[in-house]
Structure 1
Amino acid sequence: MAGHRAFWVDDRYDRERGRGGGAGRYAGRFWDEIGEFDGAWGDIAPVTFCCAAWRVATPPVTDPGLVRWHRRILSAKCVRNTWDGSLTARVRLVAPLPAPLAASREWWRDRGWQGWPEIFGQFVKPAEQDLAKAPHLRATVQVDAPVPLDRLPAAPGGPGPAAAETAYRAVAVIVAELDELIAPIVARLESAPS
């Protein structure tokens, strides 16, 4: 099941699309979206800062994002856990039909049920015209998981010269954690029968 990456940082695209002076596109987006970091500066815990860094690195804030993910991943968010203030990752993935529905097609009743449409290998929402023709059943898997704080950089005291680099490092740490966590799930979903 090896070989399926779930998350990665697209450094090449980021550098090629940067504003010059060696700074990548993410550094520019960081400064464009500096308001995302309000309330995060100097926080004793890095969670609010890291969640803001993640939002700026991913769609819809930056599209295409600095962070890329496998075609089965529909969304990936980082949020502060309201119970203890830790960082929680929320990842939604395209999944095959659950076993009770896949075991028998009796429930279809000749209605022409459709699953996830694919365009150029990417899972997409069905178009309105397709929804008008046939019912769609699109299964997903929701992963909610803690992200350890020990490798995350500390939140900077303010929007100084090193703040964009700190945000980039935070994103890279989260990407590594999520890839390790989600890649085995993606590999299993990819090997499951359709």
Structure 2
Amino acid sequence: MFVFNDRQDRDRASDGVSRYGVYLRRYPKLFASLDEDGTVTGDPAVFAAAAWQVATSPVMAPPYLGWTAERLQSVALTHSEVDSALIARVLFAVPRPSALASVAGFGDWDRGDRWNRGYHIPYHDRLSRRPAMLTTTLLAFHIPAAELHTPADAPERLTVADAKASVKRLAALLDARCAPVLVALDGLGVAR
């Protein structure tokens, strides 16, 4: 479901090494430890959320980390209030539920074209002619810190290797948790 643009990361790097690394150096405060002593956090949940934020749009455009699941609208990460964990909120476009199927006068998701596939909010010109009813489902997951990548180079330094390992591990965890939902939606031939 997720893709990593490693080749573009090297080929488009202004420092000759890693474009993602350049962006990481622009946002060191996202990785600051809670001790406020200038060190990099060793907390896997805090580190993963920061690494994900930098790796995705709108911070990186084009992003280091993208996704291929057409229904995926967004991934939001927050820190658990009860333990050292991430709370992941993953939003998917879904078909209109049967309770709303009989409500007339609304358009649906714009499905794009062969170059811009996915489920998109219709452009303003289409909305000016017809409102849209865009239904989604929100999946929320508790991801314990023990399941996440622990940054090896923290607290001394922020490294591209740790950041990439962190986003790749988190992507794998989210992929495993979201796959059954995508299979249920797309595997049954549900088009809208």
Distance apart, 1:176 and its partner CA: 0.8
1:130 aligns with 2:126: yes
Between the aligned residues of both structures, percent identity stands at 27
What's the CA shift string for 1:79-104, capped at 9, x where partnerless? Answer: 101222311111111111112223xx
Distance apart, 1:146 and its partner CA: 1.6
Is the contact made by 1:115 and 1:138 (CA closer than 8 Å) also made in structure 2? yes
Q: 1 or 2 for the larger relative contact order (CA 8 Å, sep ≥6)?
A: 1
1:12 alignment partner in structure 2: 7
1:117 alignment partner in structure 2: 110
Distance apart, 1:42 and its partner CA: 5.0
C-alpha separation in 2, matches of 1:182 and 1:114: 27
2:64 alignment partner in structure 1: 66
Q: Any stretches of 5+ residues in structure 1 without a counterpart?
A: 1-5
Is the contact made by 2:112 and 2:120 (CA closer than 8 Å) also made in structure 1? yes
Is the contact made by 1:7 and 1:178 (CA closer than 8 Å) also made in structure 2? no
Is the contact made by 1:14 and 1:25 (CA closer than 8 Å) also made in structure 2? yes
1:46 alignment partner in structure 2: 44
2:30 alignment partner in structure 1: 36
Distance apart, 1:27 and its partner CA: 1.3
Code of the aligned partner of 2:46: T
Is the contact made by 2:21 and 2:159 (CA closer than 8 Å) also made in structure 1? no
Code of the aligned partner of 1:167: A
C-alpha separation in 1, matches of 2:129 and 2:146: 51
1:3 alignment partner in structure 2: none
C-alpha separation in 2, matches of 1:122 and 1:71: 4
Structure 1 stretches of 4+ with a deviation exceeding 3 A read 39-44
What's the CA shift string for 1:117-169, capped at 9, x where partnerless? Answer: 122222222222222211210000101102242243334114x2x62221111
1:25 alignment partner in structure 2: 19
Q: Which moved more, 1:148-157 or 1:82-91?
A: 148-157
Alignment TM-score, normalising by the size of structure 2:
0.83
Q: Any stretches of 5+ residues in structure 2 without a counterpart?
A: none
Code of the aligned partner of 2:75: A
1:14 match: secondary structure: helix
C-alpha separation in 2, matches of 1:65 and 1:178: 18
Q: RMSD of aligned C-alpha atoms?
A: 2.0
Paired residue total: 180
1:88 alignment partner in structure 2: 87
Q: Cα–Cα, structure 1 residues 25 and 143, in superposed 2: closer, same or farther, change >3 Å? A: same
Q: Cα–Cα, structure 1 residues 7 and 117, in superposed 2: closer, same or farther, change >3 Å? A: same
Alignment TM-score, normalising by the size of structure 1:
0.82
Q: Cα–Cα, structure 1 residues 188 and 13, in superposed 2: closer, same or farther, change >3 Å? A: farther
